[in-house]
């Protein structure tokens, strides 16, 4: 495709700053290291939902089709619809091996993209100190490092958004890339449209070209919606009904995420932005709209500001171009405050994330003797059990089960009927506890932190059919899962 080569030549030809003290390729190397080293340091991070996508990908690779349970119906259990298909070529292996490959894919594409981003930064007309701030911010941004290796689609979405920003001189290429990012993360649709139309407007567009830009940016997401309607009967991802949220939660989320991801705080300079280059203004407006979209979507439950990560590199570019137009004291105070916060997060928040994969792997290993030969397992968290067994899994949170997703309540508080659950014939129930303070035999008296499991524990009917078998530790803080086995199941 000709626009790829043209876009790359435009990137290489971007004018460098007057000082020119460091060659652009050196900035590229620095940016690659700023992406790679922290990501390797956070290699131990993942999220439970990553294993849901892995299970879909493994079933695609094995010829079972797009389904969570190999012998069950095809369900819409992965919000980024294309992601399982991206993973499928790497999915001819066990679940944890495939997860490792997904993590490796994320770190490779992120490092390569960061290198191109660094070359752009090196050639930009901006003060050398602003370039250094961008590099350091990328290096100490825990959310970028963590989600580069989470095994989720976030890393690929981040790379697509970054390339769209870098290729602002090629508006159609930017529209396509931003649209592809929105197909992976639906809340990016407004960002993609603003970027596509804004970059066209910078060149002096016509209404027809602006409309074409909107179509190109929205088409990948619209195609995903159309496929969902045809295959699953609904346009929105199943997760939208499985875990409904609200605006108040969304506002709290974007407030915390904007600070944790560092770039929004650095880029926030409304007065200086009016004197910056027009592409920077487009990216700033798109970033603001993305914050609004995430707030309206209700935020997210995953750690490390996942929904803000895709626009972090583009917002660092905004800072790059506004830094010289702001008051030195104001800019300096904002930079110092941002890096002070980054240091605090590195000290307090990062260590726990680095242990997640090891804790999950130990949990999966310990669960093997209880789940390996099970016919059906019911659980609220279905990612890690899907790596421990090939049995049918009843998703009590509804992320992969449209029948459960339609029930009242949030993901952790679905109004599951006891008779309905027994009718699904699970021989194992998994219930999460924050701490096991009582003997296992008194499991019904343990305070369950989530509403669904608390209701199941209070059910006399379920207590007649299930008895505690074991406690599986998740980490070293006392949390874990109680394994409940069906009384009438031969052992």
Interval 168-182: pLDDT, tens:
999 999 999 999 999
Residues in a beta bridge with 482: 431, 471
Q: How confident is the model at residue 14 (pLDDT cuts 50, 70, 90)?
A: very low
Overall average pLDDT of the 140-157 stretch: 97
Q: In the structure encoding, which two tokens stand for residue 414, read together? A: 């679905």
In a domain, 442, yes or no: yes
> Are 193 and 226 members of one domain?
yes
Which phi and psi (to 5°) does residue 131 adopt? Answer: -65, -40
> Are 55 and 123 members of one domain?
yes
How many alpha carbons fall within 13 Å on the CB side of residue 184? 24
> Are 123 and 204 members of one domain?
yes
> Are 64 and 174 members of one domain?
yes
114 has a pLDDT exceeding 70: yes
pTM of the model: 0.93
Distance CA(23)–CA(53), nearest Å, equals: 41
Distance CA(370)–CA(389), nearest Å, equals: 9
What percent of the chain clears pLDDT 70, i.e. is strictly above it? 95
Please give the pLDDT value at position 3.
46
> Are 332 and 380 members of one domain?
no
Neighbours of 13 (CB within 10 A): 9
Please give the pLDDT value at position 385.
96
Calculate the alpha carbon distances from 409 to 239, 245, 415, 432 in Å.
Answer: 13, 10, 6, 18
Q: In the structure encoding, which two tokens stand for residue 84, read together? A: 């399982």
Please give the pLDDT value at position 176.
96
How many alpha carbons fall within 13 Å on the CB side of residue 273? 18
In a domain, 182, yes or no: yes
Distance CA(398)–CA(406), nearest Å, equals: 8
The residue whose two tokens read 């369900």 is: 75
> Are 137 and 276 members of one domain?
yes
Please give the pLDDT value at position 13.
43
Per-residue exposure over 425-440, b if at least 16 CB sit within 10 Å of its own CB, e if not: ebbbbbbbbeebeeee
Render pLDDT for 80-108 as a digit per residue (tens, 0 to 9): 999 999 999 999 999 999 999 999 999 99
Calculate the alpha carbon distances from 459 to 14, 36, 382 in Å.
Answer: 66, 50, 22
In a domain, 491, yes or no: no
19 has a pLDDT exceeding 60: no
Render pLDDT for 279-306 as a digit per residue (tens, 0 to 9): 999 999 999 999 999 999 888 888 999 9
In a domain, 300, yes or no: yes
Instruction: Give 154's contacts (C-beta < 8 A, 6+ positions apart).
Output: 106, 147, 148, 185, 306, 309, 310
135 has a pLDDT exceeding 90: yes
Distance CA(259)–CA(274), nearest Å, equals: 23
- Are the CB atoms for 257 and 308 separated by under 8 Å? yes
How many alpha carbons fall within 13 Å on the CB side of residue 106? 29
> Are 342 and 370 members of one domain?
no
The CB-based long-range contact list for 352-357 (8 Å cut-off, 24+ gap) reads 353/42, 353/44, 353/45, 353/142, 353/146, 353/303, 353/304, 354/41, 354/42, 354/43, 354/44, 354/45, 355/44, 355/475, 356/44, 356/45, 356/46, 356/47, 357/43, 357/44, 357/45, 357/46
End position of a domain, from candidates 315, 333, 353? 353
> Are 377 and 465 members of one domain?
yes
Q: How confident is the model at residue 247 (pLDDT cuts 50, 70, 90)?
A: confident
Q: How confident is the model at residue 131 (pLDDT cuts 50, 70, 90)?
A: very high
- Are the CB atoms for 383 and 50 separated by under 8 Å? yes
Please give the pLDDT value at position 489.
60
Q: What is the CA radius of gyration of the chain?
A: 24
End position of a domain, from candidates 322, 353, 384? 353
In a domain, 312, yes or no: yes
> Are 363 and 344 members of one domain?
no
How is 116-169 classified by DSSP, letter by letter? HHHHHHHHSSS-HHHHHHHHHHHHH-HHHHHHHSSSSTHHHHHHHHHHHHHTTT
Domain span at residue 466 reads 356-486
> Are 127 and 21 members of one domain?
yes
Residues in a beta bridge with 393: 377
> Are 281 and 381 members of one domain?
no
Distance CA(61)–CA(228), nearest Å, equals: 21
In a domain, 136, yes or no: yes
Which phi and psi (to 5°) does residue 430 adopt? Answer: -115, 130
Overall average pLDDT of the 203-216 stretch: 88
Q: Which of 167-171, 202-206, 340-344 has the lowest mean pLDDT?
A: 202-206
**Beta-strand relationship, 428-433 and 466-473:** unpaired
**Beta-strand relationship, 392-395 and 466-473:** unpaired
Please give the pLDDT value at position 16.
43
In a domain, 330, yes or no: yes
In a domain, 294, yes or no: yes
> Are 141 and 249 members of one domain?
yes
Q: In the structure encoding, which two tokens stand for residue 324, read together? A: 């010289």
Average pLDDT, the chain: 91
Domain count, the chain: 2
CA nearest 291: which of 247, 343, 244? 247
End position of a domain, from candidates 305, 323, 353? 353
Which phi and psi (to 5°) does residue 19 adopt? Answer: -65, -50
Please give the pLDDT value at position 61.
96
- Are the CB atoms for 464 and 488 separated by under 8 Å? no
């Amino acid at each position: 495709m000709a626009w790829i080569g043209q876009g790359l030549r435009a990137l290489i030809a971007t004018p460098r700053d007057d000082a020119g003290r460091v060659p652009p390729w050196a900035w590229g190397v620095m940016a690659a290291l700023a992406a790679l080293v922290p990501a390797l340091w956070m290699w131990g991070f993942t999220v439970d939902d990553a294993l849901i996508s892995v299970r879909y990908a493994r079933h695609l690779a094995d010829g079972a089709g797009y389904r969570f349970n190999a012998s069950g119906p095809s369900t819409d259990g992965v919000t980024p619809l294309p992601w399982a298909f991206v993973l499928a070529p790497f999915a001819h292996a066990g679940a944890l091996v495939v997860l490792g490959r997904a993590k490796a894919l994320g770190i490779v594409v992120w490092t390569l993209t960061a290198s191109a981003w660094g070359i752009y930064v090196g050639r930009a007309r901006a003060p050398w100190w602003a370039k250094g701030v961008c590099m350091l911010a990328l290096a100490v941004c825990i959310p970028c490092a963590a989600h580069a290796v989470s095994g989720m689609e976030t890393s690929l979405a981040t790379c697509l958004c970054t390339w769209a920003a870098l290729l602002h001189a090629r508006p159609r290429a930017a529209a396509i890339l931003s649209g592809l990012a929105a197909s992976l993360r639906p809340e990016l649709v407004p960002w993609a449209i603003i970027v596509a139309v804004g970059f066209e407007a910078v060149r002096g567009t016509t209404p027809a070209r602006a409309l074409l830009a909107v179509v190109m940016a929205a088409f990948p997401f619209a195609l995903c919606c159309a496929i969902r309607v045809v295959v699953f009967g609904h346009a929105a991802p199943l997760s939208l009904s499985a875990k409904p949220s609200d605006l108040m939660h969304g506002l709290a989320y974007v407030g915390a995420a904007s600070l944790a991801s560092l770039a929004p705080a650095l880029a926030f300079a409304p007065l200086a932005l009016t004197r910056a280059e027009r592409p920077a203004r487009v990216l700033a407006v798109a970033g603001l709209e993305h914050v609004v979209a995430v707030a309206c979507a209700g935020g997210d439950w995953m750690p490390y500001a996942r929904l803000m990560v895709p626009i972090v590199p583009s917002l660092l570019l905004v800072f790059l171009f506004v830094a010289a137009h702001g008051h030195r004291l104001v800019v300096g105070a904002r930079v110092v405050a941002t890096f002070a916060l980054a240091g605090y997060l590195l000290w307090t928040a990062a260590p726990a994330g680095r242990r997640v994969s090891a804790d999950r792997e130990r949990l999966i290993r310990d669960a093997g003797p209880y789940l390996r030969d099970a016919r059906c397992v019911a659980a609220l968290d279905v990612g890690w059990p899907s790596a421990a067994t090939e049995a049918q899994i009843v998703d009590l949170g509804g992320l992969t089960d449209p029948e459960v997703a339609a029930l009242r309540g949030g993901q952790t508080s679905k109004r599951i009927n006891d008779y309905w659950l027994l009718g699904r014939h699970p021989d194992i129930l998994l219930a999460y506890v924050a701490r096991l303070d009582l003997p296992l035999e008194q499991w019904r008296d343990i305070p369950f932190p989530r509403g669904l499991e608390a209701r199941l524990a209070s059910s006399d009917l379920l207590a007649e059919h299930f008895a505690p078998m074991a406690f599986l530790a998740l980490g070293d803080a006392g949390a874990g899962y109680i394994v409940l086995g069906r009384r009438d199941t031969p052992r």
